[in-house]
Amino acid sequence: MQPKTSFFKAMFAVVWKDLIAELRGKELISAMLVFALLVIFIFNFALELDPKTRSALTAGILWVTIIFAGNLGLNRSMAVEKDRGCLDGLLLAPVDRTAIYFGKSIANWIFMLIVAMIVLPIYSILYNTNIISPALLLVILLGSEGYVAIGTLLASMAVQARTRDILLPILLFPVILPVLIAAVKASAGILSGFPFSDLQTWFNLLIVYDIIFTSVAFMVFDSVVEE
Amino acid sequence: MITIIEVRNLIKRFGHKQVLRKLNFSVQQGEFVALLGSNGAGKTTLLRTLSSLSKPNYGEIQIAGYYLPGQSAQVRKKLGVVSHLPLLYGDLNAEENLKFYGRLYGLSDFQNHIEEILQLVGLLKRKKDLVRTFSRGMQQRLAIGRAIIHDPEVLLLDEPHTGLDQDAANMLDTLLQEIASRGRTVVMTSHDFPRVANLATRFDVLYKGIIHSSKFAKDLPQHGLLAYYQSIVDEIDAGGENQDAA
Ligand SMILES: Nc1ncnc2c1ncn2[C@@H]1O[C@H](COP(=O)(O)OP(=O)(O)O)[C@@H](O)[C@H]1O
Ligand SMILES: [Mg+2]
């Protein structure tokens, strides 16, 4: 068989496996979702915001929610593989190991997007403002891609350590800062109704970081997982 | 005879600790080799290195004509691996687990093949049950099904008997004999001497990171495996100072 077809076959096998396992247990998404909703509620009550200040903070709150919920998801998605030894099973596949990396990343990305798609309408209803727009969805798509690209790589490193729950955010959050800033700025601009041309820089930054993070992971994943 | 596994001067370190110390190991096609050795001898490390899960620090490894680590994907295609963990997903049923691994190995149109494997490991009736409801013995049998789904030339097993009751271990042995009778090469570690004695065609003693001795089953007196193993270990321990200096 062609190496290329087996690469994509293995990659989609991993995505398929993560999706049906999640459909069974719904553990990952429900954990992420509960966490995300708690963050939104806590912000609401802790800050007692009037509508005007709240709208200024919406972008920040939204991304804090996505980042923390995403961290939870990344940790669990790798822990599932590691704890029952399944990571070895994945690494034994007779393909280039980046296929495994991309499979896990795509699954993580899908989970993050599902959570975001549930959080956005809830946020809108809760605060009685429609924040859903194609431009914001695009920011979420781009921002979360960069996040899972580097997050999946770092999670596969952190999972080797006993202190992985704390190790992942310590490794991940500093690295992800440029993506977070660009995503928050772009989202805030969109929510304030700025024209797209004013936000072009932030979109460009998101795209550049997505490419950088994905390429770095592509290059080093194999050496990260081999002991 | 065709040499299917050839290991030369293999060194593997974890930090400063040298676990495999210029190990040499060679297996002919169709052999059933038992690796014997105490805890910490380096058996798992050797099997993990052969299966490309662990990178050698030094040495040459050739499996079924391909080199490690350079041609690791080709090597993995020839290998089936059973470790002390089942490498199965509890939230998937038996059939889905095999489907998943079938896809990982690039198989297509494998529905019939999966049924055959489930039949072979005696789990056809339980194929729709989630693996987390399986006993250790059933998981181990499915783990073997998982490992042979792509009909590998070489099967590597790390202590497959551990944690199995008598019945489950007997079923496992029957399964292994069946696989060996198809001309597949097997390398297995185990502490269960009576079982190993009935299965393997060759016994290698791995001790302190080196394979010290190798003996064919036909050259072994009956019930002589434990005595043979003990005599080798005693011999090494007697010359222990030289070993440690090396
Ligand atoms: N990932 C690892 N990191 C550090 N040391 C290891 C690792 N794996 C194995 N070792 C060490 O290597 C030695 C051999 O271990 P192992 O190959 O598991 O032995 P065996 O399987 O024969 O009992 C042990 O001393 C063990 O502590
Ligand atoms: Mg071991």
Matching residue, tokens 């499996």: B63
Q: Is the CB of B208 under 6 A from ligand 1?
A: no
Q: How far apart are CA B193 and CA B228, in angstroms?
A: 11
Q: In sequence order, what DSSP letters do the residues of A61-93 get, joined into one string? A: HHHHHHHHHHHHHHHHHHHHHHHTTHHHHHHTS
B117 vs A206, B30, B83, B113, B169, CA distance in Å?
A: 48, 21, 19, 6, 18
For the Cβ of B54 lying below 6 angstroms from any atom of ligand 1, the answer is no
Q: What does the buried/exposed string (b/e) look like for B178-200 if buried means 16 or more CB atoms within 10 Å of the residue's CB?
A: ebbeeebbbbbbbebbebbbebb
Half-sphere exposure at residue B177, Cβ-oriented, CA atoms within 13 angstroms: 11
**Which helix H or strand E contains A24, and what residues bound it?**
helix A3-25
Cβ–Cβ contact A66 with B under 8 A: no
SS3 A36: helix
Rounded to two decimals, the ipTM of the complex is 0.91
How many A from CA of B188 to the centre of ligand 2?
Answer: 11
Quote the ligand 2 centre to B172 CA distance (angstroms): 19
Q: pLDDT category, B217, cuts 50, 70, 90?
A: confident
* Highest mean pLDDT of the ranges A27-31, A44-48, A134-138: A134-138
Flag if A92 and B90 touch (Cβ within 8 Å).
no
Ligand nearest to the CA of B21: 1
pLDDT at B180: 94
| Structural contact between residues B32 and B201, judged by C-beta atoms closer than 8 angstroms | yes
CA–CA separation, A145 vs A109, rounded Å?
Answer: 6
Residues 6 or more apart from A173 whose CB is under 8 A from it?
A: A67
Q: Is B136 on the interface with A (CB under 8 A)?
A: no
The residue contributing the CA closest to ligand 1 atom 12 is: B19
CA distance linking residue B154 with residue B160, whole number of Å: 15
pLDDT in tens, A189-226: 999 889 888 999 999 999 999 999 999 999 999 988 88
DSSP string for residues in A147-216: HHHHHHHHHHHHTTSTTHHHHHHHHHHHHHHHHHHHHHHHHHHHHTT--HHHHHHHHHHHHHHHHHHHHH
- Looking at the CA of residue B39, tell me the nearest atom of ligand 1: 23
Q: Where are the alpha helices (DSSP H) in chain B?
A: 43-50, 72-78, 94-104, 111-120, 136-147, 166-181, 193-199, 225-238, 240-245
Q: Which residues contact B178 (CB under 8 A, 6 or more apart)?
A: B120
A13:B92 CB<8 A? no
Range list of H helices, B105-224 = 111-120, 136-147, 166-181, 193-199
Residue A1's pLDDT is what? 53
Report whether B76 contacts A94 (CB < 8 A). Answer: yes
Q: Does B15 touch chain A (CB under 8 A)?
A: no
User: Residue A2 — pLDDT band, cuts 50, 70, 90?
Assistant: low
pLDDT of residue A49: 74
> Over 50: is that where the pLDDT of B111 sits?
yes
The angle, 0 to 180 degrees and rounded to 10, between the axes of the packed helices A51-83 and A98-127 is 150
Cα–Cα nearest to A201, from A191, A209, A213, A193? A209
pLDDT score for A56? 78
**pTM of this structure:** 0.92
Name the residue of B44, B57, B158 to mutate for ligand 1: max ligand atoms within 8 A of Cβ: B44
- Rounded CA-CA distance B44/A88 in Å is 13
* 3-class state of residue B213 by DSSP: strand
**Residue A134 one-letter amino acid:** P
Indicate the average pLDDT of chain B.
Answer: 91
Q: Give the mean pLDDT of chain A.
A: 91
Distance CA A69, CA A64 (A): 8
Place of tokens 């923390």: A68
Question: Closest partner residue to A92 among B51, B88, B106, by Cβ?
Answer: B51
In degrees to the nearest 10, what's the CA dihedral of B55, B192, B163, B95?
Answer: 70
User: What confidence category does residue B167 fall into, taking pLDDT thresholds of 50, 70 and 90?
Assistant: confident
* Record: contact B146-A90, CB cut-off 8 A: no
pLDDT at residue B240, rounded to an integer:
59
Grouping H, G, I as helix, E, B as strand and the rest as coil, residue B172 is: helix
Cα distance from N-terminal residue to C-terminal residue, chain A: 29
Dihedrals phi, psi of B191, to nearest 5 degrees? -100, -5
Residue numbers of B between 170 and 209 with CB closer than 8 Å to A: none
Shortest alpha-carbon distance between residue B65 and chain A (Å)? 15
Cis peptide before B69 (omega within 30 of 0): yes
With 80 as the cut, is the pLDDT of residue B243 above it? no
- The three-state secondary structure class of B88 is coil
What pLDDT digit, counting tens, does each position of B19-37 carry? 999 999 999 999 999 999 9
Q: What percent of chain B has pLDDT over 70?
A: 97
Instruction: Compute how many other C-beta atoms are within 10 angstroms of the C-beta atom of residue A131.
Output: 17
Q: Which of the residues B20, B48, B89 would you substitute to probe the A interface, choosing the one with the greatest number of A C-beta atoms within 10 Å?
A: B89
Half-sphere exposure for A17 (CA within 13 Å, toward CB):
33
